[in-house]
Amino acid sequence: MNTRRRPSGGRIDRSRPISFSFNGRRYLGYQGDTLASALVANGVRLIGRSFKYHRPRGIFGSGAEEPNALVQVGEGARTVPNLKATQVELFEGLTARTINGWPSLRLDLYGISDKLGGLLPAGFYYKTFMWPRGWWARYERHIRKAAGLGRAPIDADPDHYDKRDVHCDVMVVGAGPAGLMAALSAGRSGATVIIADEQSEFGGSLLSGTGTVSSQPMSSWLAGMVEALSAMPEVRLLSRSTVTGYYDHNFLIIDERRTDHLARPDPRVSRERLWRVRAGQVVLATGAIERGLVFADNDRPGVMLASAVRTYLNRYAALPGRHGAVLTNNDSAYEAALDMQAAGLDVTALIDIRQRPAEGLLERAREAGIPVYPGHAVCGVRSGFSGMTDVELCRLTASGDDVLAYKGSVPCQVLAMSGGWNPTVHLHCQSGAEARFDEKLGCFVPGDSVQRARSAGAAKGIFDLGGCLADGVEAGRMAASAAGIAPAATDIPFAKMQEAMSIEPCWELPDGLPEGRGGKKFVDYQNDTLASDIRLAAREGYRSIEHVKRYTALGFGTDQGKTGNINGMAILARELDQSIAATGTTTFRPNYTPVTFGALAGRGIGTEFFDPVRRTAMHTWHVENGARFEDVGQWKRPWYYPLVGEDMAGAVARECLATRKGVGVLDASTLGKIDIQGADAAEFLNRVYTNNWAKLGIGRCRYGLMLGEDGMVMDDGVTARLGEQHYLMTTTTGGAAHVLGWLERWQQTEWPDLKVYFTSVTDRWAVVSMAGPNSRRLLQTLCDDIDLSAEALPFMSCRQGTVAGIAARVFRISFSGELAFEVNVCADFGAHLWTTIMEAGREYGATPYGTEAMHVLRAEKGYIIVGQDTDGSVTPGDLGMDWIVSKDKDFIGKRSLYRPDTIRGNRKQLVGLLTDDPEVRLPEGAQLVNEASTDYPVAMVGHVTSSYQSACLGHSIALALVKGGRSRKGGEVYAQLMSGEVIRATITDPLFYDPDNALQKT
């Protein structure tokens, strides 16, 4: 039972005990605890093992900066790995486990790597496991297990997530003293304000402090402040909400965790919500994070940030030890020492690295009965089974660079250390602005803002409460004013002002021993990066901090080096004999803290919201009649319709034969359809198609080829002239949106003088194609107001009329080489048209066919599919389609057809291929060579683009692009397969069926 809990005080609710488990053991905490504070209160000191050396680790910080205490929370599909125990709010029934340590935390067999530490320097894995070549895969599994972080859930995520887009005049990031005042002063002026804070409650440093604001205890002043903000209708307060990214044009992302702190969340509430904020002005009141000190064995459980010790004592009423010491290079840790002493955590030594701390500080410490050791340092740590017991004290030389004398050990269960404070400049830097090193403060502070933003309070390097409150008021006032709102007066609350905080930056403490002989000095706990690793990197020639980061892993991981980075940069600077400013920082990138994939995806998952499925009006009939579907763009298209017991090859062969011999029926609704109208429509078509459109009569259709300006085939399709100034263009199914955009772009940006308008009508029309010798007879039974005879409705013409009782457009066009009709009706009647045709077609043997049979039929005719037989590097000439390229007019891409590269002789050209064995089908994509040689490398001369077994012809057919292919008809090529098999094929015309094109004109 909470052996380390203070009897009173703190922000926990002692009337609401909470039972939770950690590594299988049950513990008690209170409402208001984090997992970390509850473990501290239960005397649990060993939380995990380190990543590389498997050293025991305890809780180090109290928030987002925590590098050590990573846990796996929850079970099953809802489990979350690698959470910081310092950020996990306690709730009834919470279960958490250590993520590292095998087979168990206490008996960790990989701990041997600590003893071998000298053999595991920076870059060890790169240097050691990269040979022999190809063995990395074998090593990696074991290295990953040894280094293992938590496990991602395997099951589908049962929760839902959402997003909101919002605008505001002023976005305030952080609800500490400066942020609260900024929100209040901006809010009072009437600005719309969002104030977000990552913690469960607002207050920031006020939650952990002692003392008064405006003569009130901090907690009651804070409560009043939050109440005042909540009462302002234009101020939105978001807690448990981390501003994780600051992007261009004042766009910020907030990750709000809505239910993770609840034992039984309402399933209707989204687990997380991602706020996408476009802010007029931004106030960055993100505070500061304390940094540690680098000394021998500074990672032992019990070594903590002084700010964290204060937080556990004051906010959570939890004692991290019975007695302890303080190690500092600045004034701020004296507050921690006084708080420790007051809380009954006996301070055995206040070790100040500075030779002459301010007299006022020394006096306050002496009054509290704390022994102070100026000019001293810690040069070692003694540990028992579950954490530190003593620290080794030493006297420093006047310069502080070496040990003057060892002074024995001081009993110490918890060492509260402070190496100074780093303003949390992450978002400021993400916004594109620089951080500037301030020699006096010994830290990076925000440089000039480059977006509409300003930093305030500790984030700006103001480290006393009174200064932060005042700066917050000013920042809020200025933000409102910059947002164009007249600011209102806001009183500055009174808090004890402090002399400017004094610090003597210190990046590494000496232990008087040669490198490698003393205890390990950790710079980055999560990645087990040592001071010696950084020096090694410098000796090996690394100069840029970005490279040193990647070589030593400094600053990677879930904490992104929030406590250790600056120490590491300073150690590198010293090794390179240059200033910290010249060394600089690594790049601050989003996200500030990890964000779950669920939050990023939001509702945009699955086929409903992420990748929507498009279905034609006849889809239900296809499903009911056993169609197998294929995805074409977002469309579901019937691929083939197998009968019972029929395989795909059998179904496709049957569908093809039925079409060639009787009549086949195809759902062609997915073809792109663009309605084009206007006085200059014909002129426009002339410019975008390769052929001539000036003389196309009303009621006539024409096939067109569209090129990019580079002369390469981009799309194709039939366009019909419906009226004097009215055309209907069809495009490939996949190219519809692109073609519409293409037309719009040319019209708007290049030829705005042309009067022509484009409307996508793809979804408005359902299209049934009937192909085969019986198609005319079948259509005649359903249509009595159009003369369908060859004379009245010749090939490549169209009429309006009535089919199956519905107003219809009938096009006599063919993609199969057969006599064929395409009937277009309003999509609402598509299903009716289809079923009527299928019923009427029974006596003509009407057979539904899918895209596979459609492909076979068109390949038998040598009709290309753009995107299959072309790949963006194919000209009309390459396809043997010079007949469609006008010489008399300009069109997009024409000039490119005369570039040296497009007229050279050995371009790949479309040909047909026939295999020796009619049963052998060439694989699509197979590379073609001139000789069946194994003398590699073999020159490749082309590839197979389309290949099918043709039931009508009784043998396989293929289309291919072959270098100089048209002049090689009758010659041979070889397809060299991955299996090693070689197939010989003869080059032919890409036209296998009805070479005179007579059937489609009948």
Contact set with other proteins (CB under 8 A): 165, 247-251, 278, 432, 450, 709-710, 741, 744-745, 748-750, 752, 890, 894-896, 899-900
Smallest distance, other proteins to C-beta of residue 751, A:
9
CB of 755 to other proteins, least distance (A): 16
| Strand runs labelled E in 425-580 | 435-438, 443-446, 453-455, 522-524, 529-530
How many Cβ atoms are within 10 Å of 578's Cβ, its own excluded? Answer: 12
Task: List the structure tokens of 980.
Answer: 């090693």
User: Residue 574 has which token pair?
Assistant: 């010293």
Residue 989: C-alpha distances to residues 341, 867, 972 (Å):
95, 20, 13
Specify the residue, 118 or 604, whose C-beta has the smaller distance to other proteins.
604
Distance of CA 568 to the CA centre of its chain: 29
Buried b (16+ CB within 10 A) or exposed e, 825-858: bebebbbbbbebbbebbeebebbbbbbbbbbbbb
Residue 382 and residue 390 in contact, taking contact as beta carbons nearer than 8 Å: yes
Cα gap 454→29, rounded to integer Å = 40
- Least Å from the CB of residue 590 to other proteins: 12
> What minimum distance in Å lies between the beta carbon of 712 and other proteins?
11
CA 543 to chain centre: 30
What is the DSSP pairing of strand 664-667 with strand 726-731? Answer: unpaired
Nearest distance from C-beta of residue 708 to other proteins, angstroms: 10
Instruction: Give the nearest distance from C-beta 891 to other proteins in angstroms.
Output: 10
Q: Pick the closer one to other proteins by CB: 744 or 763.
A: 744
CA distances from 503 to 255, 331, 418, 435, 500 (A): 35, 7, 10, 19, 9
Q: In Å, what is the CA distance from 582 to each residue of 143, 335, 668?
A: 36, 33, 66
522 or 742: CB nearest other proteins: 742
Q: Is 86 exposed, middle or buried (0-12, 13-18, 19+ CB in 10 A)?
A: buried
Between vectors from CA 683 to CA 681 and to CA 687, what angle results, nearest 5°?
Answer: 115
The CA-based diameter of the chain, rounded to the nearest angstrom, is 115
Omega within 30 of 0 (cis) for the link into 132: yes
Nearest distance in Å: CB 240, other proteins: 24
- Kindly tell me which of 491 and 890 has the beta carbon lying closer to other proteins: 890
Residue closer to other proteins, measured from CB, 222 or 279 = 279
CB of 904 to other proteins, least distance (A): 13
Q: Which is nearer to other proteins, 250 or 583 (CB)?
A: 250
Please give the C-alpha separations between residue 141 and each of 423, 443, 998, in angstroms, as whole numbers.
39, 40, 65
Q: Among residues 165 and 791, whose Cβ is nearest to other proteins?
A: 165
Least separation in angstroms between CB 903 and other proteins: 10
Minimum CB distance to other proteins smaller for 699 or for 708: 708
Closest to other proteins by CB, 48 vs 602, is 602
Residues 6+ apart with CB under 8 A from 986: 913, 914, 916, 970, 971, 972
Q: Which is nearer to other proteins, 538 or 740 (CB)?
A: 740
- Least distance (Å) between residue 405 CB and other proteins: 56
CB of 249 to other proteins, least distance (A): 4
**Smaller CB separation from other proteins, 217 or 484:** 484
Nearer to other proteins, 248 or 919 (CB): 248
Question: How far apart are CB 692 and other proteins at their closest, in Å?
Answer: 16
CB neighbours of 424 closer than 8 A, spacing ≥ 6? 174, 286, 287, 288, 289, 458, 459
User: How far is Cα 990 from Cα 859, in angstroms, rounded to an integer?
Assistant: 8
30-39 in b/e form (b: 16+ CB < 10 A) is bbbbbbbbbb
